[in-house]
Structures are given as C-alpha cells and as structure tokens.
Structure 1
Amino acid sequence: PRTLVCHDLKGGYLDDEKCLLGWKMEGYRFWRWWQVDIFVYFSHNFVTIPPACWIDASHKHGVPILGTLITEWDDGVQLCSQFLKNDDVMEKFVKKLVDITLYYNFDGWLLNIENKLDFIERMLNFVEILTERLHKVHANSLVVWYDSVTIDGNLLWQNELNDNNVLFFNRCDGIFLNYTWTEENLNETMKRASLLNRPDNVFIGIDVFARGCVGKFDVCKSMEKIKSRNLSSAIFAPSWTFEAIGRDVELGKDFFQNETK
C-alpha cells in the first residue's frame, strides 16, 4: 500500500507561489517526505501547476508530484463542454497538458471532475489518452482519477470502487476515493480491487479536517483500517495543523509540535 498526500490550503496558496521572492517562516511546510509515496499540489484553479519549490522538494526526496486539473459546479460543466467539444479539441488539450508536465518537470495529474458530465465516452478517452501519452514521454508519470462523477455523468461520490467509477479507474494509474466511507465500503473496494489485481492503485481518502471521517489527530485510526485491507491511502488537507490549530507568524508557534504529533 502507498501513501498519497494531497496538499490543500484554505484561501489558496500565498508565499509558496513566490519562491523566487524569498522564503518566509509563516508559510505551510511539509518535511515528512520519507513517509510519502506521492504528493499532489491541489487548488481550485482549473489547471494547477505545482510551484518550483514544491517540485524541487518532492524530487529531492524521490517523491513524484502531481498537479491538479479540476472542474466544479456550473462553471465546470462549461469547461468540460469546451475541452471535450470534439476529438480534435480533446487531443489538443491532452497535448497541452503533456507539454506543461514536461516543461515544468513534474510527474502527472490528479483529475477532479466535480460537476455533471455529458460527454462520458469522450471523458473516458481523455483519461486514457492523457495517461498513455504521459507514459510515452515520462515512464514514471501518474494520472489519478478522483471519485466524484459517475459513469452516468452524475455528480455522486461513491466512497468505494464499484460499477459507477471502475471504468475511469481502468483507464489511468489510480483512483482517489472520497473520504466519507464506511468499513463496508472498504470491504467492497478491497474485493473489487483484488479481482483487478490493483489494490495499491486505490487511494482511500482521509480528510484531516475530519469532515465526514475520522481525522485530525486520529488520522492513524483511519489509516489502520485502510492498510489492514491492503489498500493505499490519500491524506487530504494535512495543513489542518497549520491553518486550524497552529498558525502563528511568530516562527510558526505550535505548528512544528502539532505537525509532528
């Protein structure tokens, strides 16, 4: 089983986007690279490219880092209809994403479609083609699908691997399942992933803010349930230790202790 960390910070990222302007102690920082297999730099922009400082830190410690492609709500419907308009437009969009990945020297994408979807077949092709094209030019690249839209095009988080999302999973390197799961969801996921011989490619979400799951300082309890089933984990928003209980511009007072805990 692998551990993915998906870094999300409320209000967007501030100091870490400006790595050439100087480093400040106030910014969120992550240093437990030896415990992580994949790092995702997440934001709510349509296309998020990880800043150079995060790419450098990840690669220095041998950890692949992914950017994020996200569409959400009504605006997301419009964006999807644009880049999935036809095969030619979709192919151009794939090429641009591959070019961006290579130019900025990161390792792939988290695909997060959180809106109703009309172009299911073309989205499936998009996921498959993007994965294949990246693998051709970057052998260790990764494309991970987030569990939010179903194969029927409905925005409906499944919290497990099932018939509603497995076709997306089959076309890329992994799936990031939503975090409001039950143990029954984990058992069903384990069965399906084992049949496909891909249990380590299923990343079970854990929200550190504990929205609908066991999180905060009890993240370990969720991790134990996931790992006991030989599934991988996806820790979302670890900056809870920074923005919720330990943010202090005076040299990050309490943050270091809370992050370590």
Structure 2
Amino acid sequence: MVFWGGSAGEGLILAPGAPVIDAAHRNGVKVHGTVFVLREGKPGGKKKWLEKFVQKPGAAYPVADKLIQAARHYGFEGWFINQETGGDEGADATIARGLRDVRAYARATSTVECTWYDSMVASGEINWQGELNDADKLFLQDGGVRVSDSLFLDYQWNQGRLTTSGEKATGELKRSRYDVYAGAEMSWATPLDPETACPQGKQHLASVALFVPEDESMPEKSMPEKVNGKHKTMDLADLFKKEA
C-alpha cells in the first residue's frame, strides 16, 4: 500500500503515519511512503530539487540515507518514487543516472524497497511508456544491478505491451514479470480493466497496481449525495463489502 501524497507546497516526501503502518501490517500488507516531484508549472517541480536529491558529497547519498533511516525508524518497507518534473525545469541524462544510482545505492546498503513510477526515461525526459522497454529498463534493472523492486506502469498499457514487458523482464533483465505492475486509475469514468493483466484461467501477464481504488467503493464516483444539506454518512458495511 502506497501512502500517496506530497506536493511542492507541502513537501516532496511523505512518510506513512503510525496508524496506517499498524493497520497494514496487521493485515499482512507492506507499506511504502512517497517521493513525488511534480510536473513543471504552478506549483510545479524544480530542477534544483532533483539535483539535491542525487547529490553525493562523498561515498554516500545523504537523501537516500535519510529515506532509509526514516523507513527503518517508523517501521515501513520502502518508498514509491514518482519523478514527473520535465520541460525547462526537467532532468537531463546525468540526473536520470543519478536517480538510478541513488536507488541502486539504497538497495545495496539496506533492505528498504523501492517502486519506480513509469514517467522519466533514461534521457531525463518525461515520457510515459506504459511498458517496460529499453527507455525505462535501467530504473528497474541495470545489468546485474537491482535498481528497484518494482515498476509501476503508466496508464497507457494494453495486452500487447504487457506481454512484451513480461518478456523483457524475464528474458533480458532476469527478473519476474510480476515485478512489473499495470497501473489502473480507478477514478476514471472507464478505468483500465485489471483483468487484462490477470486473465482468469490463464497465466497473468503482470501484477496490478490500483490507483485510488476507494473510488469504486464510495457511494458516489464524486461526492456522496446530500440529505438535508449534509453529506450522507457512508454505509460502512457496504464499503467493506465492495473493498473485499
């Protein structure tokens, strides 16, 4: 479960709170905090934030060390990293390589996990792929170096792309096809069908990552209806049934 959030105005890094960690662990669920570097604009991201993230004054990466320290101290498993700053403030190939190195360093020096969101490619450009390919593979596996534990694909995948992603993972990269997650944004009017990735009775093509799945469990797709000027209280029994 990714504790999602973070913004330029409130902070790029968000660690999960103790009640969330406790509830997840009591149900056998791992928890990741979020590092979210936004797109350019208002408030937007800034290249200097990326440069600070990958700075290496000596043999270590200070930001990575702090992320590891926070995860260990509060008892959660890792971090979801979403870098979407592009345009004039975007990263270049050097920063892209630095982000790869930061995560490889964290994986080599700790058991803290990392999930990488499919947004930035090796050149540093923001170019959502919707698949595991030559442009984004180094953020999951770079030769014999395990860079991330999983890759969250942007919402442009289809059956063909998931098939080739699995082949890339198991063939060239020597990784499990289930380290690749097909992202499905459930808040869309017509979300991508997770069954495309996990067809019944057949080998699953990839894992599935549900973004804001609670939208499917709410009384309304947007705001619950009002009764006497107040929002109707959610029927928790119905919510739990849908969540199950």
Q: TM-score, normalised by structure 1?
A: 0.73
1:231 paired residue among 206, 215, 227: 206
- Name the counterpart of 1:44: 6
Consecutive unaligned residues in structure 1, runs of 5 or more: 1-38, 136-140
Q: Which of 1 and 2 has higher RCO (CA within 8 Å, sep 6+)? A: 1
3-state secondary structure, aligned to 1:129:
helix
Per residue, is there more helix in 1 or in 2? 1
CA root-mean-square deviation: 2.6
Q: Deviations over 1:181-206 (max 9, x none)?
A: 12221121121112123212111111
The code of the aligned residue for 2:130 comes to: N
Is 1:244 aligned to residue 209 of structure 2? no
The code of the aligned residue for 1:129 comes to: Y
Q: Deviations over 1:70-93 (max 9, x none)?
A: 111232423102222444497111
Contact preservation (8 Å) 2:121, 2:136:
yes
Consecutive unaligned residues in structure 2, runs of 5 or more: 142-146, 226-230
Contact preservation (8 Å) 1:247, 1:253:
no
Percent identity, aligned pairs only, is 23
What is the 5 A alignment of 1:102-251?
Answer: 102-115=72-85, 116-118=90-92, 119-135=95-111, 141-170=112-141, 171-195=147-171, 196-210=174-188, 214-215=191-192, 219-225=193-199, 228-241=203-216, 242=218, 244-245=221-222, 247=224, 249-251=231-233
Contact preservation (8 Å) 2:197, 2:206:
no
Is 1:60 aligned to residue 26 of structure 2? yes
Aligned length: 214
Q: TM-score, normalised by structure 2?
A: 0.77
CA distance in 1, matches of 2:195, 2:81: 27
Is 1:259 aligned to residue 242 of structure 2? yes
Deviates more, 1:95-104 or 1:68-77: 68-77
Alpha-carbon distance change, 87 to 259 in structure 1, aligned in 2, over 3 angstroms: farther
2:62 paired residue among 83, 92, 108: 92
Contact preservation (8 Å) 2:194, 2:208:
no
- Name the counterpart of 1:69: 35
Structure 1 residue 126: deviation in Å?
0.5
CA distance in 1, matches of 2:162, 2:138: 18
